[in-house]
Structure 1
Amino acid sequence: MVTSIILMNVDRTSINEVAAKLVEFDEISEVYSVSGKYDLIAIVRVRTNDDLSTLVTVKLRNVENITATETMLAFKAYSKHDLESMFSLGLDE
């Protein structure tokens, strides 16, 4: 499983609408509106790097009012929760 965090700048009048569109994507588990340099942060969990590439270069490109993105790959999760088992339910490896 590949986990990534996508930081987004969005047209400020469309933040709520863009967030609502993003959570409809199966690859995106959570979207946060945040303060600071970025407007939205999406948590992405996909099977492969190719799936991430498709999300970023095809699907997100078609969402209106996203003006810029920065994608970060997660190397390791440090959590009290067993995130891997939570998000791998039903996935065939």
Structure 2
Amino acid sequence: MIQALVLIKVERSSIPHTAEQLLEIKGITEVFSVTGEYDLVAMIRLKEYEDLALVVTEKIAKVETILKTETMLAFKVYSRADLEQSWQIGVD
């Protein structure tokens, strides 16, 4: 599984609308509104690098309200949430 984070700068008034548009793109699993230089962070999870290239260069690039992006590939995921979820399987 390929995972990438895309830092996204957008027109300020369009943050909620842009986040919703991004969520419609296959492979984008979460979009976070954040503080700092960028306005949104999109989490992408895909099986192939070719799919990632398509999402970033064709799908995200076509969202008109996006001013700038920076893409980072994740080498390894350290997550307490995943560990906690695995312990909850079958527990009701």
Quickly name the TM-score band, shorter chain normalised: 0.7 to 0.9
Aligned sequence identity (%): 47
Larger radius of gyration: 2
State the TM-score, normalized to the length of structure 2. Answer: 0.85
Greater fraction helix: 2
What's the RMSD between the two structures over aligned residues?
Answer: 1.3
Q: What letter matches 1:22 in structure 2?
A: L
The aligned counterpart of 2:37 is: 37
Work out the number of aligned pairs and report it: 83
Corresponding position of 2:89: none
Q: Deviations over 1:26-61 (max 9, x none)?
A: 201100010111000000001111100000110011
Letter in 1 for 2:2: V
Tell me the residue number matched to 2:75: 75
How far does the alpha carbon of each residue in 1:34-92 deviate from its partner, in whole angstroms, 9 at most, with x for none?
Answer: 0111000000001111100000110011111100000000000111215xx9xxxxxxx
Moved over 6 A (4+): none
